[in-house]
Structure 1
Amino acid sequence: MQTVTQKTLEDTMYYGDIPVFVYKINYPSFTTTCDETAGRAINAYYAKRAMDTEEYCRNILFAQAAEDKRYHQDGLPFNSYTLEVVYQITYNAGCITSLYTDTYTYMGGAHGETKRTSDTWDFVTGNRLKLADAYPLTPASLYQLHRSIARQIAKRLRETPGSYFEDYRSLLRDTFNVNSFYLQPGSGVIYYQQYDIAPYSTGIPEFYFPLR
């Protein structure tokens, strides 16, 4: 079993006396009763990813925010650019933990963008599990999975017309990512990124599939 502690890297960065960029990077740290070596390796993975994201914020995104503020029209308010990373533990039992991480970035414009990643870990081996470990990846099973997703979309469209693109049937196959999944008690979840198969207002579409 894993116990989760949240760690955070955060800062508000200024151009002159104006806060132009704010970041907050939340990431998990695990204590496990399974294999301590595996736990340390997984913790090192998340710590490095958080530090890499922080470096990107401080060296790339802040420079862009400061440059945009430099040419911003005087007298008009400047909305601070932001990056926020949050994670959600979706399954945590025995030596298996599954979670997803959403990274929201706002760099001006009408709205920001959210990018999702996910991991399912075996705390005995320290390995990341693949979708094939939870669902058979044969041509026939993938066909059934895509049919199931299409049925779920059709039902949602009856309830909320326009919530998916008209050509969603081809898009869900073309943009399918075998790594875009996580586990929860009793089922797995396949997700698509914003704009893959639906407009921005739909968010990140999620679809359920049975575990084998």
Structure 2
Amino acid sequence: RENGWSSGPYYQNMKYSVPYNQDNILSISITNDKYSGGAHGMTWIDTYNYDLLKAKQLSLKDIITDQKQSDKVNKYIREQMIARNKKGAQFWVEDFKSVNLTQDQFYYTNGGIVIIFGEYEYAPYANGISFFKVPYSIFK
């Protein structure tokens, strides 16, 4: 006990999934959940994407390779945020400028990729982790 407060239950969980494993592309998603006191815990996702033929880890810059493609993806995500806000979400659309091609999390899916934004990144905690499926047709 410190300052009269109980330490409470602390925990950390981790679970993984394989959202994509086709055509020599492998995506692994690891969900981390941690509570160390306060109003609520934090959850975040780490993803790992590999080209198995080249034995190379991939980042978004390997998929979105130029400014024109990046602009199209950013426009699409912004439009999705606006559409979700109309259905009750609370995205801070004005704060979203661009995906970060070296740091943002993503995984492959049939027909495109899913870009992940963490809690508080472009929305309040109540929105949770945000997933935006971006079809290849948007930027290829």
- Structure 1: give runs of 5+ residues left out of the alignment: 1-69
**Corresponding position of 2:2:** 71
How far apart in 1 are the matches of 2:118 and 2:81?
A: 15
Higher relative contact order, structure no. (Cα contacts within 8 Å, ≥ 6 residues apart): 2
Displacement of 1:148 after TM fit? 0.5
Choose which of 48, 51, 56 in structure 2 pairs with 1:127. 56
Displacement of 1:126 after TM fit? 2.3
Query: Which runs of structure 2 are paired with 1:23-172 in the superposition (5 Å)?
Result: 70-71=1-2, 73=4, 78-135=7-64, 137-161=65-89, 163-165=90-92, 168-169=93-94, 171-172=95-96
Choose which of 87, 91, 97 in structure 2 pairs with 1:173. 97
Indicate the structure with greater helix content: 1
8 Å CA contact 2:107, 2:113 repeated in 1: yes
Choose which of 186, 199, 203 in structure 1 pairs with 2:111. 186
Q: 1:56-99 CA distances to partner (integer Å, 9 max, x unpaired)? A: xxxxxxxxxxxxxx42638x6x5321111112211011422112
Displacement of 1:133 after TM fit? 3.3
How far apart in 2 are the matches of 1:84 and 1:196?
A: 21
Q: How many residues align?
A: 135
Displacement of 1:151 after TM fit? 0.7
After TM superposition, the runs of 4+ consecutive aligned structure 1 residues lying more than 6 A away are: none
> Given the two structures, how large is their TM-score scaled by the length of structure 1?
0.57
Task: Provide the secondary structure at the position in 2 that maps to 1:153.
Answer: helix
How far apart in 1 are the matches of 2:19 and 2:56?
A: 18
Q: 1:21-74 CA distances to partner (integer Å, 9 max, x unpaired)? A: xxxxxxxxxxxxxxxxxxxxxxxxxxxxxxxxxxxxxxxxxxxxxxxxx42638
